[in-house]
Amino acid sequence: MTLSLYDTATRDEREFVPLTPGEVGIYLCGPTVQGAPHVGHLRSAVAFDVLQRWLERTGYRVTLVRNVTDIDDKTLAKAAEAGDQWWAWALRYERAFQAAYAAVGVKPPAAEPRATGHIPEIIALVSRLIDKGHAYEWNGSVYFDVRSFDGYGSLTRQALEDLTPAPDAPSDDKRDPRDFALWKARKPDEPQTASWSSPWGPGRPGWHIECSAMAQRYLGDSFDIHGGGLDLRFPHHENEQAQSRAAGYGFARLWMHSAWVTQSGAKMSKSLGNGLLVSEVLAAHEPAALRLALAAVHYRSMLEYSPSTLDEASAQWGRFQGFVSRASERVGAVSAERVRGAALPAAFVEAMDDDLAIPRALAVIHEMVRTGNAALTAGDDEAVAAALLATRAMLDVLGLDPAAPEWAEGGSGPSSTAMGALDFLVKSDIEARAAARSAKDWATADAIRDRLAGAGIVVEDGADGARWSLAADG
């Protein structure tokens, strides 16, 4: 069986054939760094990390690019409210996201470009669209003319007349209310550092054009897979595809979208107040258990998060850890080279090749663990060794090999890597609390401290700043 993946654009599962044999280019929409990461933010990162690991395990050389949106309306507004520089605010949370990714074992991307680091490429792409008749300037801003491109709406299969106006400028600034901003003229109340010189005057890029420019810069005119969360399909990905193809680029050949993490049926988000911060979760649960919880449900299925979600994942992780530990003591440790070169059970391969059917793949792993435990009881060392190697090889594909350094360093507790990531995440919250205190926003400062306390994190203020520690029973 060959790998088949579900293409959101065509709405069917089809055989994956890369542009260049043996190589795969993936562009993954990364975070908008306006605040601390919550569990929902990690869903697509883990899903595409598993995709990358499976592609690499089957012999492909993968180039995964994950961008950082480090300037947008909300980032500017939140930094201003806190009395902070927008670029310092964005960098603080960019690092918090990186720490969160590292904590759950997400591999670093081949490139992690920031929007603000690619202004020349963005301006060049906007100019190209104007020259081709697909964009126009008005009062220092530039808009994409959706009526100029026949394929607009094709990704999400929507007719133009059914689409709502783009909310990035007053309708009287645009030829059509659905036209969207490629370049935004600087507003009088925005800091000068948040604008750049352009042929149309000082301003900053629109959200959608950033990804088109960075994808073309690092992956070329056409590339294999574009990924992201389901909520990005419209308008973000629809607009990306339209502007890139209107510019003459082939852009993404296949689209993949991971579903949301929900609570009581609602998408996890800051705006709804139902976002579980990664720092809170990691204070109470092992990072590997969080990764397992996020990966265990098929990436296109909604993950309903409840208090039992991490408990169940922790129990599963304990079974995997327990077998690998007992088997390794019995028959000896297995090197990482042997694990990654080992043959995988056919049922596991079939599941992974079927659009990353991880629930089925996990069933194979659980069955192998049961076989291995039975062999331990029977004293059949040969069967134990075979089950140990197969179990670790399959878990390695999911980024969950219990004997890997990122999970094994701390024994039964979090590894030093995970504790370092937790330290960074908590310090990001502490810095946000300090900014709120400086702005005399006592309600926000107290809310941050109370939220951390609820997660078992004690914050103590001192002359040299605040320090944190885990509560004695945390």
Instruction: Name the packing angle between helices 207-219 and 119-131 (round to 10°).
Output: 100
The total number of structural domains in the chain stands at 3
Considering the domain architecture, whether residues 14 and 106 belong to the same structural domain is answered as yes
Considering the domain architecture, whether residues 403 and 434 belong to the same structural domain is answered as no
pLDDT of 466 above 80: no
Considering the domain architecture, whether residues 42 and 118 belong to the same structural domain is answered as yes
Instruction: Summarize the confidence of residues 204-214 as an average pLDDT.
Output: 97
309-326 pLDDT, tens digit per residue, is 999 999 999 999 999 999
Considering the domain architecture, whether residues 161 and 84 belong to the same structural domain is answered as yes
Q: Which of 226, 258, 290 is a domain's end point?
A: 258
Read off the amino acid at residue 96.
A
Domain assignment present for 300: no
pTM of this prediction?
0.86
Domain assignment present for 294: no
Q: Which of 379, 408, 437 is a domain's end point?
A: 408
User: Residues near 198 by Cβ (< 8 Å), separated by ≥ 6?
Assistant: 123, 126, 183
Instruction: For residues 469 and 8, give the distance between their C-alpha atoms in angstroms, rounded to a whole number.
Output: 44
β-strand 457-462 against 203-205: which pairing, if any? Answer: unpaired
Give the pLDDT band of residue 474 (cuts 50, 70, 90). Answer: very low
Considering the domain architecture, whether residues 401 and 445 belong to the same structural domain is answered as no
Which has more confidence, 265 or 389? 389
Instruction: For residues 20 and 17, give the distance between their C-alpha atoms in angstroms, rounded to a whole number.
Output: 8
Considering the domain architecture, whether residues 438 and 386 belong to the same structural domain is answered as no
Which has more confidence, 387 or 453? 387
Q: Which of 408, 436, 462 is a domain's end point?
A: 408
Instruction: For residues 200 and 220, give the distance between their C-alpha atoms in angstroms, rounded to a whole number.
Output: 26
Considering the domain architecture, whether residues 105 and 241 belong to the same structural domain is answered as yes
398-433 pLDDT, tens digit per residue, is 999 999 999 985 444 455 556 666 777 787 778 788
Considering the domain architecture, whether residues 254 and 330 belong to the same structural domain is answered as no
β-strand 12-15 against 465-470: which pairing, if any? Answer: unpaired
**Among 204, 212, 295, CA closest to 248:** 212
Given a contact cutoff of 8 angstroms between Cβ atoms, the answer to whether 263 and 281 are in contact is: no
Tokens of 160: 């133009």
Given a contact cutoff of 8 angstroms between Cβ atoms, the answer to whether 122 and 244 are in contact is: no
Considering the domain architecture, whether residues 112 and 185 belong to the same structural domain is answered as yes
Domain assignment present for 282: no
Q: What percent of the chain has pLDDT over 70?
A: 93
Instruction: Summarize the confidence of residues 162-178 as an average pLDDT.
Output: 82
Considering the domain architecture, whether residues 131 and 14 belong to the same structural domain is answered as yes
> pLDDT at position 417, please?
58
Instruction: For residues 223 and 435, give the distance between their C-alpha atoms in angstroms, rounded to a whole number.
Output: 42
Instruction: Summarize the confidence of residues 300-316 as an average pLDDT.
Output: 92
276-287 pLDDT, tens digit per residue, is 899 989 988 999
Instruction: For residues 195 and 119, give the distance between their C-alpha atoms in angstroms, rounded to a whole number.
Output: 10
> pLDDT at position 421, please?
66
Domain range enclosing 348: 307-408
Domain assignment present for 74: yes
On the CB side of 24, CA atoms within 13 Å amount to: 23
Lowest mean pLDDT segment, chosen from 6-15, 89-98, 306-315? 306-315
Q: Identify the CATH number of the domain in which residue 362 sits.
A: 1.20.120.640
pLDDT, mean over the chain: 91
Considering the domain architecture, whether residues 54 and 109 belong to the same structural domain is answered as yes
Strand partners, 352: none
Domain assignment present for 390: yes
Give the pLDDT band of residue 120 (cuts 50, 70, 90). Answer: very high
Domain assignment present for 298: no
Domain assignment present for 295: no
Instruction: Summarize the confidence of residues 346-352 as an average pLDDT.
Output: 98
Domain assignment present for 214: yes
Instruction: For residues 65 and 219, give the distance between their C-alpha atoms in angstroms, rounded to a whole number.
Output: 8
Given a contact cutoff of 8 angstroms between Cβ atoms, the answer to whether 428 and 96 are in contact is: yes
Considering the domain architecture, whether residues 187 and 235 belong to the same structural domain is answered as yes
Instruction: Summarize the confidence of residues 91-102 as an average pLDDT.
Output: 95
Cis-peptide, bond into residue 109, ω within 30° of zero: no
> pLDDT at position 199, please?
98
Q: Identify the CATH number of the domain in which residue 89 sits.
A: 3.40.50.620
Given a contact cutoff of 8 angstroms between Cβ atoms, the answer to whether 224 and 18 are in contact is: yes
